[in-house]
């Protein structure tokens, strides 16, 4: 009851507070999660889309993903305050107190999980719960211990299409579903490492281990980045190979992967902040573009 009194009625009508709580949910990342979940749902539906279930899945996923993002900011608010790129986030900037942020985040996570369990199915709910547990319980603390966090964090990052597939089918285990997981998993390594290279001074100040140790020239980072980008090509081809998508997706998906790889090779050659920034922006575009080709392919054929 004491926690419940932390909120005043006026906060619900204060536009600045509403904006701060919305920012706490990391809307950009949450939108990416939703897009990946919808792709998993659409492909898992095999042309027989249950739009009511899809709406339920979107709402439940938005709630739990928003809550997970908000709780991550609660857990890291002291470290966020040490970095230029994050010091203006709601909690370190004192727009929202830590106590209010944790109540807000746990409420969203709980309501989202219950909604998925009751309105969609148990498998979809459990996949979302697993995503949250790995992200908050393993990835978040691991960021201050080892660069292995990048690979651990790629697991919950790649689970949204699995959750979408589970929401549509009620089961796991399809080859197509795991190919979607592989695409998002492999995309995240160069995406995160490019950001880490651009912001490495910030990350160092906060004590985050986002790049390989003893790698001032970026050789180890380059191997990981280029290795994932090369592997991304056959994995993305896999959706065409198993017959889930046609030549429209194949051409768009492979061209997107080649462009992404091109910027990875530029980073491999220069290994500096400008080339890392180009790779970062390429990573921002890759996933929306390849998902767009999936949708266009389905709509046309």
- Please report the pLDDT score of residue 12 as a whole number: 57
In SS3 terms, 76-131 reads as CHHHHCCCCCCCCCCCCCCCCCHHHHHHHHHHHHHHHHHHHHHHCCHHHHHHHHHH
* Residue 269 and residue 160 share a domain: no
- In terms of Cα–Cα distance, which of 76, 64, 231, 99 is closest to 149? 76
* Residue 133 and residue 110 share a domain: yes
Q: Which residues are CB-neighbours of 37 under 8 A, at least 6 positions away?
A: 57, 58, 61, 160, 161, 163, 164, 167
- Tokens describing residue 130: 């697993």
Q: What is the pLDDT of residues 261-294, one digit of tens each?
A: 999 999 999 999 999 999 999 999 999 999 999 9
* Residue 291 and residue 181 share a domain: yes
* Residue 247 and residue 164 share a domain: no
- Please report the pLDDT score of residue 3 as a whole number: 47
- Please report the pLDDT score of residue 13 as a whole number: 60
Last residue of one domain, picked from the residues 146, 170, 194: 170
The packing angle between helices 27-45 and 273-300, to 10°, is: 30
* Residue 191 and residue 292 share a domain: yes
Last residue of one domain, picked from the residues 170, 195, 216: 170
- Please report the pLDDT score of residue 6 as a whole number: 55
**Mean pLDDT for back-to-back runs of 10 residues, the chain (301 residues):** 51 79 95 97 93 98 98 94 91 94 97 98 97 97 94 97 97 94 98 95 90 92 98 96 93 96 98 96 96 91 71
* Residue 266 and residue 136 share a domain: no
Residues in the chain: 301
- Please report the pLDDT score of residue 8 as a whole number: 58
For the chain, what is the domain count?
2
DSSP letter, residue 7: S
The runs of H, that is alpha helices, within the chain are 15-24, 27-45, 51-75, 77-80, 98-119, 122-134, 140-142, 149-158, 160-169, 175-198, 200-206, 219-241, 247-270, 273-300
The answer to whether the Cα torsion of 138, 282, 181, 237 is positive or negative is negative
* Residue 203 and residue 159 share a domain: no
- Please report the pLDDT score of residue 300 as a whole number: 83
Output the pTM of the full model: 0.92
- Please report the pLDDT score of residue 237 as a whole number: 96
State the CATH number of the domain containing residue 230. Answer: 1.20.120
* Residue 23 and residue 153 share a domain: yes
* Residue 60 and residue 22 share a domain: yes
What distances in angstroms separate CA 212 from CA 83, 177, 276, one per listed residue?
20, 30, 15
* Residue 100 and residue 34 share a domain: yes
Cβ-based neighbour number of residue 82 at 10 Å: 16
- Please report the pLDDT score of residue 85 as a whole number: 87
State the CATH number of the domain containing residue 69. Answer: 1.10.357.140
- Contact yes or no for 200/210 (Cβ under 8 A): yes
* Residue 9 and residue 137 share a domain: yes
- Contact yes or no for 218/198 (Cβ under 8 A): no
- Contact yes or no for 301/246 (Cβ under 8 A): yes
Last residue of one domain, picked from the residues 140, 170, 200: 170
- Contact yes or no for 169/258 (Cβ under 8 A): no
Range of the domain at 62: 1-170
* Residue 130 and residue 74 share a domain: yes
């Amino acid at each position: 009851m004491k926690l419940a009194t932390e909120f005043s009625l006026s906060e619900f009508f204060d536009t600045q507070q509403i904006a701060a709580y919305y920012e706490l949910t990391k809307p950009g990342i949450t939108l990416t999660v939703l897009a990946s979940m919808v792709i998993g749902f659409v492909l898992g539906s095999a042309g027989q889309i249950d739009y009511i279930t899809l709406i339920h899945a979107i709402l439940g996923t938005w709630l739990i993903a928003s809550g997970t993002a908000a709780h991550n900011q609660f857990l890291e608010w002291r470290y966020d305050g040490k970095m230029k790129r994050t010091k203006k986030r709601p909690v370190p900037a004192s727009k929202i107190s830590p106590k209010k942020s944790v109540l807000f985040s746990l409420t969203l996570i709980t309501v989202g999980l219950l909604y998925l369990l009751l309105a969609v199915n148990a498998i979809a709910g459990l996949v979302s719960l697993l995503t949250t547990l790995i992200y908050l319980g393993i990835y978040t603390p691991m960021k201050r211990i080892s660069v292995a966090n990048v690979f651990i964090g790629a697991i919950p990052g790649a689970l949204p299409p699995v959750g979408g597939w589970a929401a549509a089918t009620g089961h796991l285990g399809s080859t197509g579903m795991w190919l979607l997981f592989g695409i998002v998993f492999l995309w995240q390594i160069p995406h995160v490492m490019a950001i880490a290279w651009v912001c490495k001074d910030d990350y160092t100040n906060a004590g985050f281990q986002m790049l390989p140790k003893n790698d001032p020239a970026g050789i180890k980072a380059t191997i990981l980045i280029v290795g994932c980008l090369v592997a991304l090509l056959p994995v993305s081809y896999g959706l065409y190979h198993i017959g889930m998508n046609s030549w429209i997706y194949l051409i768009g998906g492979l061209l997107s992967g080649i462009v992404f790889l091109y910027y990875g090779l530029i980073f491999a050659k220069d290994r500096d902040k400008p080339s890392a920034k180009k790779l970062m922006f390429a990573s921002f575009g890759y996933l929306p573009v390849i998902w767009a080709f999936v949708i266009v392919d389905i709509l046309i054929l």
